[in-house]
Chain A
Amino acid sequence: MKKKTPILKQKEKQKASPSVKAVDAKPKRALPFIPPFVVLLLMLWIFAGMVYGDVFYMAEQHSFFAFDPLLMKNVTDQSNGWLVMVGRFFLLSYHIPVLGGLLWALVITSAMWMLGYALRCTGYLRLIPLVLPFLFAVYVMSKGLNLYYQFDPYWLFSYPLVLWCVALVAALVVRLVTHRHIPSLLRDGFADTSRQRLTIGCSLLVLFVALMIDAVPFHVNERATATMQRQLQEQDWEAMLRTAEGVKRPGRTVACYRAIALSQTGQISSRLFDTHYQYPDLGLKNRAGQVDNGTEYYAADGDFYAGLINTSYHESMERTVIDGITVYRLKRMFLCALLNNERQLAYKYYTILSHHPLEGKFLSKYGPMMQKSDAILEEPNFRLVAELMPVDDSFEQWYRTPYFIGYNIMLTAGRSRRALENSLVACLYAKELTAFYQRTAPLQGESLPQSFDEALAMIGIKDGNSLQPYVVTPLSTERVRSFLRDAVQYKGQDRKEVYYELSPKYQGYYPFYYYFQNIPDKNYMKYDRESGRVN
């Protein structure tokens, strides 16, 4: 016998009750039924698979899963090891963000559907299971890059899966005990009024719009960072620069990856300062819960592309010690070993990565490079990196920050013109004008890149250094004077505030950067490993 759906029940009720009939005497035109859970599924999919897909992809890369028990021992030995394992396993789906997003949305939507059934949510109460996923998405975004930086991102899937299991059990119990009908996901199983349908539909729309606003403008740095890191893996420098252009106020991470792309495309000396440098607070925390400026997020990448291979390996190893094995760090250490011509060490990382179910593409691309000494240098991008490697051995401690283009301020001998340019740019970024000036001798008599020209013009006026051997345009000198005249009017004012006043006129101009940008934030000073003069 066919079970009675709530609609059928209501129709019978209407037949039996004249009063009900009377109320509905003037039949209203009902709004078309749009299955809310299907809409929810689509919305979550758009969010997780597309809008935030790269962030979740990087979460997958900052995790590790293998079926080999030895490789997972550090996880399985933990008290919640099984939960971490399951979470990491499902996180693999984000290797293809659209697929991962769909799976994530399916798990959450089905969990909410079952929960709605178990909790007997009808009428406006049906909003409860529809709102919860949005709250979870907001919670995920509130973690920022801490979703996977310094923390294990397993919970991105584990929490929804636990909820899914709980909802399933609850739904089964309710079904067995009450024999209540399970509403279809696609058909209208409720006698919603048009008003209720409108309210539910509008609520979903509002929630989705709010989610998108939170994700797109408010988490632009997180998304851009993840996208740029992904593009870095593909060595797509132009795409990285395009991504960076979409960030009006880049954080340190975006600034670092932009600098890498500029360095790789030979534009670092001409374009480094044409972006905004006053890093926003990304709200990062370290494992101890202290404020973290996030340098360790990108230090290994920055150092690698600055030719400081040992330092990049060092950073990667330190993070691995603290966070455990991750795909991203293993790949970085593998490439460091190859560039260092440590092929046996590279083979170790290759072997570990080969136990990961989804890294075949990377291994087939770089694996053959282990066969021959320095084979990696046949790849143009890595040859560029090798050109930046120091000529002589030294100690990290003798070198200086900033990290985002390595910390080769103290470079005294380079193996290429690019190494010199990077060092000079590092000096400018760090506002080390004396160090910059001391290294400019090889540029004498040459046409200078824009930032060097501007910096030298400023040095000439500020410190009275002779500019005679350099090709500094008179226009540059005059512009510095003009800038100083403008700037001196704001003497004594908060430089961060003056920045906004002068920004329209001087954005991208080195003296403007020198005086009004990249000013250390007091919150970070305590934890900052960088020079105190710049952020």
Chain B
Amino acid sequence: MKRYIIISCILFTFLLLTSCERHIEVPSASTPTSERLLIYPDYTNIVIPENIAPLNFMVRNSGDEFVVAMEGAKGSKLVAGGTKNGKIEIDSLEWRQLLQTSRNAKIKVTVYARRDAGWVAFKSYLLRVAEPIDAYLSYRLIEPGYELYRQLGLYQRNLTTFDVQTIYENNRTYHTGENHCINCHNYQNYDASTMLFHVRGNMGGTLFARDGKIEKMNMKCDSVLSNAVYPSWNPKHPWLVFSSNKTGQTFHLLNHEKVEVIDSASDLIYYNTETKQISNVLKTPTDLENFPCWTPTGDRVFYCVAHMPSFSQIPDSLHTREVVLNYAQVKYNLMSIPFDEKTQTFGEPRLEVDCEAMGKSVSVPRVSPDGRYVLFTLGDYGQFHIWHKSSDLYVKDLQTGKVYPMKASNSGDVDSFHSWSSNNRWFVFSSRRDDGSFTRPYIAYFDRNGHSHKAFILPQKDPEHNLLLFKSYNVPELTRNAVPYQFKEFRDAIYQQKGTPVTYREIRNISVGNE
């Protein structure tokens, strides 16, 4: 008798639990509506990687209940539902199966809303499933602040799931002796096991992680302009090119581009992590060099340069004022300089894109992994385009020399810092298109003809995440693998290592490989 009672109890509990689970099915009868479907994020008619995490979204049209039906190739289907708040969370296993069966095909998505008069069906939209993207996206989370910083960190998101790994976070609670900033994380050739980032403020230095070891370096040296700033790894060797900048900020009173980040001086420097030697590559009094980027073959470095002839006529102390007064006239051109890996020397610079002639200014060149294209940001002036609403992504086809905008993926607001996927088919970039202030990573497909497609925001488990998060995604970088170093290892290196000083070595720039 006892046994029957126990079994009955278990069955009752099971029934109770299963009855609580909402059963979602496509409405058997619905009326098509001409009302425009409003979903956030906008995932309509986009190309998606076959390995992307579920594209959860919120329906902003009215309705007491929502159902989303997805129909992929080979009869594969997925149904998801949402309540009055409109949040649609897709089952990740079903999503994975749908994407796998719909590889190189299209998925038709139909959204239904239940209203007083019954179910209505919105016009369907399509998702095209394309090649996979590099699985890991690392970024810095920081408020879109001005001068001050407090809590910030470097994180890595697995794009195939919603998992986030903390690479490094600074102190959570305010401490005058501990507060420090971290920035400019960068990887060698999409491999997260060789990386670096800078620490500024207390315990400052540059952390190089390579071959399982982390070393803090003090990159300051009397012979170079300032600290090492924007980095680029040589794809094959443990060598880097950095820009070295003297940076300042000024704040607009009326302009919606609230902050102007300006360089009053900048050079290019070269660093060999094995010999711990640093060298000037381009140290020019009237040129501002910035944002170096090595080509995948490692024989050339792209960079940006602004010519400031007035610098030769005024003392250094007035350079900042000069740039601030003429900030809208400062235009950077896209340049490249050859590199000879045998001698570790650089050749003569070459103009790649005369942006000034276009009335534009370039920033952040990134060469595609196949070496065919260089992707960069063009704005109306300056180089810190994350604050420039005019900034858009452009590409130069290095085979044809043609320069053209990434029309389909650009927006009316800031589109800037970008990173290629190692298979050339995707790039991730920073955009402020959502609200004009908080930067979010957008993913865009780059087809074999060299054209980009409509970009979509990094998917989140809670689709409201991007609205609620009070931080910007900064410097999105794609890698094939996860960062193999633990938070504690970085913390120990930052807190315990003093920072090995670099030594200076003069390199003789010679004319190599220059057409």
Contacts and interface: CB of A to CB of B under 8 A. Distances in A.
Contact-residue size bin, chain A (C-beta under 8 Å from the other chain): 35 or more
B74 interface: no
Interface stretch (A69-77, A430-438, A450-458): A69-77
Contacts of B146: 314, 317-318
B435 A321 contact: no
B491 to A, nearest CB: 15
Given A320-B143, A395-B324, A351 B437 contact: no
Interface string A349-384: 001100100000000000000000000000000000
B376 interface: no
B14 interface: no
Nearest to B413: A344
B255 A77 contact: no
Contacts of A317: 143-146
A393 B470 contact: no
A347 interface: yes
A311 interface: yes
Contact of A390 (B149, B150, B254, B464): B254
Nearest to A350: B467
Contacts, number: 100
Interface string B151-182: 10000000000000000000011101000000
Given A317-B146, A345-B435, A392 B254 contact: yes
B250 interface: yes
Given A344-B436, A345-B436, A348-B467, A396 B250 contact: yes
Contacts of B260: 395
A340 B437 CA distance: 12
A352 B148 CA distance: 22
A518 interface: no
Contact of B470 (A310, A320, A347, A392): A320
A351 B467 contact: yes
Contacts of B252: 310, 393-396
A344 B253 contact: no
Most chain A beta carbons < 10 A, residue from B151, B251, B470: B470
Given A70-B468, A322-B148, A355-B468, A345 B251 contact: no
Contacts of A289: 176
A79 to B, nearest CB: 8
Contacts of A396: 250-253
B487 to A, nearest CB: 13
A342 interface: yes
Contacts of A342: 256, 435-437
Nearest to B469: A70
A318 B254 contact: no
Contacts of B145: 317-318, 321
Given A321-B150, A344-B436, A310 B254 contact: yes
Contacts of A288: 176
A399 interface: yes
Contact of A393 (B174, B255, B434, B436): B255
Most chain B CB within a 10 A radius of its CB, from A288, A321, A389, A396: A321
B187 interface: no
A311 B253 contact: yes
B23 interface: no
B469 A310 contact: no
Contact of B462 (A70, A392, A397): A70
Given A288-B176, A342-B437, A348-B467, A390 B148 contact: no
Contacts of B434: 344, 348
B384 to A, nearest CB: 15
Q: A355, A395, A399 — which one has the most chain B CB atoms within 10 A of its CB? A: A395
A313 interface: yes
Contacts of B149: 321
Contacts of A15: none
A287 interface: yes
Interface residues of B, number: 35
Contact of B147 (A79, A313, A318, A325): A318
B19 to A, nearest CB: 27
Given A321-B143, A342-B437, A389 B254 contact: yes
A68 interface: yes
Interface in B186-232: none
A166 to B, nearest CB: 24
B438 interface: yes
Nearest to A73: B469
Contacts of A141: none
A344 B40 CA distance: 13
A308 interface: yes
Contacts of B253: 308, 310-311, 390, 393-396, 399
Nearest to A394: B253
Contacts of B464: 351
Interface in A381-411: 389-390, 392-397, 399
A376 to B, nearest CB: 16
B174 A348 contact: no
A392 B254 CA distance: 7
B465 interface: yes
Contact of B251 (A287, A311, A344, A355): A311
B236 interface: no
A482 interface: no
A389 to B, nearest CB: 7
B251 A352 contact: no
Contacts of B237: none
A314 B147 CA distance: 9
Nearest to A340: B256
A21 B172 CA distance: 68
Nearest to B248: A397
B151 to A, nearest CB: 6
Interface string A299-334: 000000000101101100110111001000000000
Contacts of A320: 143, 470
Nearest to A322: B150
A125 to B, nearest CB: 39
A314 B173 contact: no
B148 A345 contact: no
Contacts of A340: 256
A71 B150 contact: no
Contacts of A489: none
B468 to A, nearest CB: 5
Contacts of B254: 310, 389-390, 392-394
Contacts of B255: 310, 393
Interface in B241-288: 250-256, 258, 260
Given A348-B438, A351-B468, A395-B252, 6 more contacts: A74-B151, A74-B172, A322-B148, A344-B436, A345-B435, A397-B250
5 contacts: A342-B436, A344-B435, A351-B464, A355-B468, A396-B250
Closest 4 CB pairs of A and B: A393-B254, A344-B435, A396-B251, A321-B145
Interface of A: 68, 70-71, 74, 77-79, 287-289, 308, 310-311, 313-314, 317-318, 320-322, 325, 340, 342, 344-345, 347-348, 351-352, 355, 389-390, 392-397, 399
